[in-house]
Amino acid sequence: EVQLVESGGGLVQPGGSLRLSCAASGFTFSVYSMNWVRQAPGKGLEWLAYISASGVTIYEADSVRGRFTISRDDAKNSLFLQMNSLRAEDTAVYYCARLRFMDVWGQGTTVTVSS
Amino acid sequence: DIVLTQTPLSSPVTLGQPASISCKSSQSLVHSDGNTYLSWLQQRPGQPPKLLLYKISNRFSGVPDRFSGSGAGTDFTLKISWVEAEDVGVYYCMQSSQFPRTFGQGTKVEIK
Give the pairing type, strands B19-25 and B10-13: unpaired
Return mean pLDDT, chain A: 97
Return the residue of B nearest to A108 by Cα. B48
Question: What is the mean predicted confidence (pLDDT) over B88-110?
Answer: 98
Are B49 and A102 in contact by the 8 Å Cβ rule? The answer is yes
pLDDT value, residue A114: 97
Q: What is the pLDDT of residues A34-92, one digit of tens each?
A: 999 999 999 999 999 999 999 999 999 999 999 999 999 999 999 999 999 999 999 99
B24 touches chain A (CB under 8 A): no
Whether residues B96 and A100 touch (CB distance < 8 A) is answered with yes
Whether residues A44 and B104 touch (CB distance < 8 A) is answered with yes
Q: Give dist(CA B73, CA B43) in Å, integer.
A: 25
Return the residue of A nearest to B105 by Cα. A44
Which chain A residues are Cβ-neighbours of B9 within 8 angstroms?
A: none
pLDDT value, residue B101: 98
Q: Give dist(CA A44, CA B63) in Å, integer.
A: 22
Q: Give dist(CA B89, CA B49) in Å, integer.
A: 10
Whether residues B51 and A102 touch (CB distance < 8 A) is answered with yes
Q: What is the pLDDT of residues B8-41, one digit of tens each?
A: 999 999 999 999 999 999 999 999 999 999 999 9
Q: Cα A97 vs. chain centroid, distance in angstroms? A: 8
Residues making up chain A, counted from first to last: 115
